[in-house]
Amino acid sequence: MRKFLDFLQEIGSIMYVGGILSHIFIGANFGHLDPQTAYTVAMYKEISAYILILPGLGLKIISDIILYYSYEVKPNYMKVKFVLIAFLSVNAFVFLVPMMPELVDLAQASVEAGEFTPEFLDRSHTEGLIGMSNAIPLVLEILLTSFKPKIFGK
Quick check: pTM over 0.75? yes
- In this prediction, residues 106-113 reach a mean pLDDT of 97
CA-based nearest residue to 42, from 130, 94, 88, 109:
109
The answer, yes or no, to whether residue 97 has pLDDT greater than 80, is yes
Q: Using CA atoms, how far apart are residues 82 and 118, in angstroms rounded to an integer?
A: 37
Please tell me the predicted confidence (pLDDT) of residue 145.
85
Most distant pair of Cα atoms in the chain: their distance: 61
Q: Using CA atoms, how far apart are residues 20 and 23, in angstroms rounded to an integer?
A: 5
Do 77 and 148 touch, CB atoms closer than 8 A? yes
- In this prediction, residues 125-140 reach a mean pLDDT of 91
Give the tens place of pLDDT for each residue, 32-84.
899 999 999 999 999 999 999 999 999 999 999 998 998 899 899 999 999 99
Please tell me the predicted confidence (pLDDT) of residue 154.
55
Tell me the chain's radius of gyration from C-alpha atoms.
Answer: 18
